[in-house]
Amino acid sequence: MKNNKIWSELLLLSSKRFIMLKRIIVVFAVVFVFVCSNKIVAQDPIFSQFYGNPLYLNPALAGVEHCPRVVLNYRNQWPGIDGTVYATYSASYDQYIHKIAGGIGLSALHDVAGPASLTTNNISGIYNYQLKVTRTFNLNFALQGTWFQKSIDWNKLTFGDMIDRRKGFVYNTLETPKYNQINGWDFSTGVFGYTKNVYGGVAVNHLTQPNEGLLTTSKLPVKFTAHFGAVIPVGDHKKSDAVTISPNILFQKQQNIQQLFLGLYLKKGALVSGLWYRNRDALTLLLGIQQPHFKVGYSYDVTISKLTNATYGAHEISFALLFSCKDPKRKYNPVNCPSF
């Protein structure tokens, strides 16, 4: 009996140490990737419903609907990983203004990543000049200025000097951060061209590569985005329940990270569905409702990488309101591109 009790205590102690070790490894990895490394740099959040967050995709989409538009987005990634949060919230407003011959946009983003609650906040202002090149072809040029703030909750971090060999994390750490947060300015640009049923654009974010490092210099690398697509009517497109198919491609590159999205949308009346493949990473399933003055969509990312679906993939919701407006001087063709 005495030997059994000793073995039980040893197994319990080993189990506690194993759990402690897992936590140390997870926290260390997060701190290393997001804070301490001067070689590994931060990456932007990704939205699967990229047309559902148009100003985040390309600032040259500001004001393309001409009337005032409000867009809200929420993404929850990897909810199956205990003790971590990867959530992104986004809101934007845009409209076309005749007196300045272009669109304006305002957007805000709040992102929380990892067990140490690495938080990013930014607010952006956009001006998008819209040029009617021919009777059927329009071209937009945009500039974007962004104020950002990045911070980390040091109270949620654990260090080696906090550990007691038997009781675990019981001591106060002597580690002191150089900064709890860092602020700065960032600038981006974009171009978007479209005809009645074909569209495409290029955006370049983080032109000045601002420093986001909390301990050492860590510059946010430039992000390149290229997106192209078409809308193909099926049957009589004048009917209220007309069917359209919209194949699309999106390519993004930031530092050594590359993302290629391939997929299509299927729209019948007010119902929209979509299927997307993100290279060696995920399949995205989309279902949405689109009306003249509002749209709402839900998508789920099915993980196909080595992480498997134990992460529970990613959930994303988008919502938009398009307000009515009088536009007697309108001379630009509307954009016929996806809303999700």
Give the distance, in angstroms, between the CA of residue 304 and the centroid of all CA atoms in the same chain. Answer: 19
Structural domain including 59 reads 2-322
User: What's the whole-number average pLDDT of the chain?
Assistant: 82
* pLDDT of residue 29 exceeding 50: no
Tokens describing residue 339: 């809303």
pLDDT band at 57, cuts 50/70/90? very high
Percent of the chain scored above 90 by pLDDT? 52
260-302 confidence digits (pLDDT tens): 999 999 999 899 999 999 887 889 999 999 998 999 999 999 9
107-166 confidence digits (pLDDT tens): 999 999 876 678 999 999 999 999 989 988 999 999 999 999 998 877 777 777 777 777
Whether 118 is covered by a domain: the verdict is: yes
Q: 330 vs 24, 65, 131, 321, CA distance in Å?
A: 60, 11, 12, 20
Instruction: Give the chain's domain count.
Output: 1
Q: Tell me the Cα Rg of the chain.
A: 24
Whether 147 is covered by a domain: the verdict is: yes
CATH code at position 57: 2.40.160.40
Please give the pLDDT value at position 307. 63
Whether 114 is covered by a domain: the verdict is: yes
Whether 16 is covered by a domain: the verdict is: yes
Tokens describing residue 290: 């689109």
Whether 330 is covered by a domain: the verdict is: no
